[in-house]
Amino acid sequence: MRGLGACLALAFALAGAPVLAQNAADNQPNSADDQTGAEQPTQGTIQSVYLEPHARITNTTCTPTRVSFTGKIKTDGPAFVTYRWLRSDGRRKDGVIQGSAVDGKTISTSWDQTSTMSGWVQLVVLSPKHVATPKTYFHVHCGTG
């Protein structure tokens, strides 16, 4: 590393554990209520939502430094899941999972930093049930030292 051009990047995170979704009674119509007579597909439910408690820091030159976050969403069957990444700067990024995530679907996002910065990211499932993870905190330090 070079003297003044060096960048030191550190990641600090709060410990996180999977957030388990609470089971709720489904109020889905049975096929007898369906006027077409066709059976409606079942909607899977959220089993757990997890966000890695430590951010991954790459390219510590701050031109830019990439801070990456990984999460996992599990369902109990085929589902249409909408989720959102929330950031401490107020930005958000939405995503969708369609199909089965019984073994868990890994999702990720990244945030490029070009200067010293502290912040957090949180993963929130919006549907079929609202579930939010604890925030993962990070700190990137650019400069000498």
pLDDT band for position 35 (cuts 50, 70, 90)? very low
Decide if pLDDT at 22 tops 80. Answer: no
Q: Alpha-carbon distance 112 to 92, whole Å?
A: 14
> Distance (Å, rounded) from C-alpha 126 to C-alpha 86?
12
- For the chain, how big is the Rg over CA atoms in Å? 20
Which residues are paired to 108 by β-bridges? 70
State pLDDT tens for residues 74-85: 999 999 999 999
Domains of the chain: 7-17+44-142 (2.60.40.10)
Range among 11-15, 44-48, 50-54 with highest mean pLDDT value: 50-54
pTM exceeding the 0.85 threshold for the entire prediction: no
111, 59 contact by CB (below 8 A) = no
Q: How many CB atoms lie within 10 A of CB 89?
A: 10
Q: Are 59 and 66 in contact (CB under 8 A)?
A: yes
